[in-house]
Amino acid sequence: MISKIVKILIFNLLSFQVFAQIDNFNFYESQFFDTQDSNSVFLRIENTNFLKNNEYFAPQNQGFTLTGFFLKPSLLYFPSKNVKIEAGIFAIYYSGKENFKTILPLYRLHYQRDWFNLILGNIYGNLSHNLIEPLYFSEQYFSKHIENGIQFLFRKKFVETDIWLNWEKFIEPKDSFQEEFTIGNTNIFHLSKNFEIPLQFIGTHQGGQINSNKDVPLRSLINSSTGICFSYQFLNSYSLDFQDYIISYNDISPSQLFHFRKGFANYALIKLRNQRFEVLAGFWKGKNFFAPRGESLFFSISRNDSTYYQKDKQIFSFKINYNTFLLKDISLTTRFESYYDVSDKRFDFSFGIFVFFRDKFLLKKFNF
């Protein structure tokens, strides 16, 4: 099955990184490093503090609140101007729990040369892939923050590319559970200063040949998207963005898992922004749509209720986002997001406050 997904990945090799719908730049980890850091060792500290409240009443996504923080201390070693080695830990704590929810080791080897980057180990994942919301649920920034595997990043004048494999669950002979992995490819083509064409692809697989439980069906699901992004600048600091996406769903599993094997959707958005504020309005029209890593409000089925099925979905969305720096290395994001489901005549909304700290401190400079 992995060979089938790899073939599809190669076929979709031109797949995307967008003008993000809502600007998540405060959530991104820097993917590049300064060649002047060569022959140095640094202590790097990354901390995110969050309050995210979802007032959702949909069968496919019930409301919940996330509040807490995570820490990512690590040591960085630059043996040359082209190589970074990083090792540390990731720990996340949810308020109200007695202990940390998750503590994981981190290791990354990053090779950077001109426009080409190779990353092994802990890849630059989650929101940094820049997948659109229907294909990537933003709360995974907390619940699935760490991605491990292999990643290729390409940065040229006219195209930006991210290709990755995230191996989520490893199995050994006789394990009772399935292996799980995600592959993806995102590109954005800069046709001019104000016009871009995004393409995206993401595939998820659950299966394996050596696990002991053969009763659980294999699952291989594919989502892809393409569209156009146009930006108009005015009054020096303002921009009006128009985005339109065509999105698909395909179930290539040996046995059909849901009510449908194929689905599609159209997602149109308009966004007004400046350096700090964003206001976004969108309209979604979908038919038989599902995305394993996506925002479930857009789905025709429910992860929580196997009896729920709504073939056609029409949703209006409205969002407000504010980003700023409190200090040089401390940034703040506040956000309000709302969705009106025309089919169910239901209003869902969420709001969040996020404070980020990122900095690195020189420990040793070697003079080789």
- Residue 136: which of 159, 160, 162, 155 has the closest Cα? 162
Number of domains into which the chain is organized: 1
pLDDT at 31: 81
pLDDT at 88: 98
What does the angle CA 28 – CA 33 – CA 35 come to, to the nearest 5 degrees? 170
pLDDT at 202: 97
pLDDT at 211: 65
**3-state per-residue secondary structure call for the chain:** CHHHHHHHHHHCCCCCCCCCCCCCHHHCCCCCCCHHHCCEEEEEEEEEEEEEEEEEEECCEEEEEEEEEEEEEEEEEEEECCEEEEEEEEEEEECCCCCCCEEEEEEEEEEEECCEEEEEEECCCHHHHCCCHHHCCCCHHHHCCCCEEEEEEEECCCEEEEEEEEEEECCCCCCCCCEEEEEEEEEEEECCCCEEEEEEEEEEEEECCCCCCCCCCCEEEEEEEEEEEEEEEECCCEEEEEEEEEEEEEECCCCCCCCCCEEEEEEEEEEEECCCEEEEEEEEEEECCCCCCCCHHHCCECCCCCCCECCEEEEEEEEEEEEEEEECCEEEEEEEEEEEECCCCEEEEEEEEEEEEEEEEEEEECCC
pLDDT at 21: 66
Q: What residues make up the domain containing 333?
A: 2-365
Q: Average pLDDT by consecutive 10-residue portion of the chain (368 residues)?
A: 41 39 82 86 97 88 89 96 96 94 96 95 95 94 94 94 95 82 96 94 86 76 96 92 97 89 96 94 96 94 85 96 94 96 92 96 90
Please identify which residue in the block is written with the tokens 């303002």. 238
With beta carbons less than 8 A apart as the criterion, state whether 353 and 336 touch: no
* CATH code: domain of residue 97: 2.40.160
| pTM for the model | 0.89
If one counts every other C-beta atom within 10 angstroms of the C-beta of residue 11, the result is 11
- Residue 148: which of 188, 115, 111, 106 has the closest Cα? 106
Please identify which residue in the block is written with the tokens 């400079």. 365
pLDDT at 14: 33
Which tokens hold the place of 283? 């309209």
